[in-house]
Amino acid sequence: MINQSNELSSDELKEIKDLCLKMRKDILMMIHSAKSGHPGGSLSCVEILATLYSKCMKHCPDWEKDCDFEKRDRFVLSKGHASSTLYSVLCRLGYFPESELKTFRKLGSKLQGHPSCTSLKGVEVSTGSLGQGLSIACGIALGLKLDKNPANVYVLLGDGELQEGSVWEAFMNASHNKLNNLIAFVDRNKLQIDGNTENVKGLEPLAEKLEAFGWNVMEIDGHNPQEIYEAVCVAKTMATPSVIIADTIKGKGVSFMENDAGWHGKAPNDEEYNKALAELEQI
Amino acid sequence: MPEIKKEKKSIRAQYGQTLVELGRENKNIVVLDADLSASTQTAKFGKEFPERFFDMGIAEQDAITTAAGLSTTGKIPFVSTFAMFATGRAWEQIRNTVCYPKFNVKIVATHGGVTVGEDGASHQALEDVALMRLIPNMMVIVPADCNETKQVIKFAASYKGPVYIRLARTNVVDVFDDSYNFDPHKAVVVKKGNDVTLVTNGETLSETLDCAKILEENSIKAEVIHLPVVKPLDEATILASAKKTNKVVTIENHSIIGGVGSAICELLSEKYPVKTLRIGTNDVFGQSGEQRALMEYYGLTAEKLAEKIRGIL
């Protein structure tokens, strides 16, 4: 399953592309069915989660049964509002049956609005309140290092989330403790609820800031699985923690959702849902 | 009634020493501090086990949330700083990332109450027990002396789930001898009496026992209950005493809103309404001063307590 070279084969790229299409359909179905959710930022990180879960991470769909559970790689969805993306990839890789997807956000569901680790196996930690995932990931990385456990920790942050001050406490902590088993992604879709990040409270020059905090920084196209995969391969060779700034499009794949902050936290109506699905079929 | 030895001991030093003992017994014990390891006494642990000690710097939110992450790898993190910053600055991290997923994180906060002293209001946590009691899955413990603190810390290490432990800055007299066994499910009737029930914990227990002696000179027999575990509350012990005395006074080095006073009044008003009086800081901030002067000012010394309690009898 795990590719040993730094490049994905054309078969593997096709496999990821197919997975991403399924995930986009799942995301729209879940949010449409729930009549609520966060399509914009869920669609922007599809390739990142698809590539990580299918090609980069050692993980355990059957949870505690089919792999060395303690040595599994950990993933933290710091931008917990992209829960539908996480649920879809977990489902498609065998963590739970497809029939559960439509329970998303409904009373009694394992698929809570924001991920809950006590509700669904495969969710490592509960998230949703922004600014905390990187610190949690640092804690996991510290614990693994203490145990000389070779597993890696992956964390996905939103870009708007970087306005939370506690994130920068964690950036300091990770480099101070040389947590090179920690690989962070920033889903740089450039939009937050109130508009463009640079108009709300500017993040740039982001790469320079992160470098100044002692991180190995890489900038990639966040919709290109090959680049995602290569960046992770490089990150695994570093002596410092790595952050991969993934340039993405909020709402990616659905023309009328793309680059529109209005689709941050809004569900499509029936007409919009059908139009979106029709567009995805064209890809 | 136990004989109170007047020699005062540092409850924080006891905490630091107990952490070291735990660290020797269990390699999964890890400790995080936020640049106050000399004050909280976690530095002792850091000296013996540097690889398991993380000084997170002046970053309480990061400290709490990192501890949450560590707990997912099987570690048992103890996080320490002043009560103000642990429960105030990092409240939402504690709520969402420690208690909601029921992670195995122990928050041991020192410098609770007005007896922080000269540093004044900005450092005097008078709301921490309230803030922690409010969160589902959180256990809240306020030990009274060194012997009990040692047992409470060891209990916390063995219990799976979030625990908040509040320690005073003040040195305290021993209330309990070696025969004392901390029971997380039990409030402790330290002195029996029929006229009024006094419920307290932490450093105000010894004051309350002294107050009971003063009341006894006025022929008032007070029952003194020590409530180390504020949550979950041992309702049976409180109700049994209230049924006997029909008058309940709560005493705490904390706001009368949200802490022991609220916990007891919530219980009594629903299950056995009796005359009550809450003694603590009365919806005000603290201020600078010498510890004893502050205790007097806020009415928490034995004499001041006795005066107030006589007023309702």
Q: What residue numbers bound the domain in which A92 lies?
A: 10-282
The dihedral region occupied by A108, where left means phi > 0, alpha psi between -120 and 50, and beta the remainder, is left
A126 vs B contacts (CB less than 8 Å): 96-97, 100-101
B77, part of any domain: yes
Q: Name the average pLDDT for chain B.
A: 97
How far does the CA of residue A131 sit from the closest CA of chain B (Å)?
Answer: 9
B67 vs A contacts (CB less than 8 Å): 139
Task: Tell me A35's DSSP state.
Answer: T
Q: Is the pLDDT of residue B6 over 80?
A: no
B113 CA to centre of own chain = 9
Q: Please indicate whether, in this complex, the C-beta atoms of B59 and A129 are within 8 angstroms of each other.
A: no
Q: What residue numbers bound the domain in which B272 lies?
A: 188-312
Q: Is the pLDDT of residue B3 over 60?
A: no
How far does the CA of residue B91 sit from the closest CA of chain A (Å)?
Answer: 12
What's the whole-number mean pLDDT along residues B4-14? 85
Dist. CA B201–CA B144, nearest whole Å: 6
B95 and B64 housed in the same domain: yes
B72 vs A contacts (CB less than 8 Å): 74, 124-125, 136, 139-140, 143
A3, part of any domain: no
Structure tokens at B207: 């004051």
Residues 6+ apart with CB under 8 A from B299: B279, B305, B308
B182, part of any domain: no
Predicted local confidence at residue B311, as pLDDT: 92
What's the whole-number mean pLDDT along residues A94-107? 97
Per the structure, the count of domains in chain B is 2
How far does the CA of residue B258 sit from the closest CA of chain A (Å)?
Answer: 25
Is this complex scored with an ipTM above 0.90?
Answer: yes
Query: Which residue is it, tokens 């993306």?
Result: A85
Q: For strand B196-200 and strand B53-55, is the pairing parallel, antiparallel, or unpaired?
A: unpaired
A184 vs B contacts (CB less than 8 Å): none
Q: Is the pLDDT of residue A65 over 90?
A: no
B60 is catalytic: yes
Q: Is the pLDDT of residue A270 over 60?
A: yes
Q: Please indicate whether, in this complex, the C-beta atoms of A125 and B92 are within 8 angstroms of each other.
A: no
Residues 220-279, chain B: which have Cβ within 8 Å of A?
A: none
Predicted local confidence at residue A60, as pLDDT: 84
pTM: 0.96
Query: Which of A130, A154, A173, A175 should we substitute to test contact with B (largest number of B Cβ atoms within 10 Å)?
Result: A173
Active-site pick, B60, B148, B203, B223: B60
Q: Is the pLDDT of residue A1 over 50?
A: no
B271, part of any domain: yes
Backbone angles phi, psi at A86, to 5 degrees: -65, -45
CATH code, domain carrying B230:
3.40.50.920
List pLDDT tens digits, range B181-208: 999 999 999 999 999 999 999 999 999 9
B296 and B214 housed in the same domain: yes
B298 and B162 housed in the same domain: no
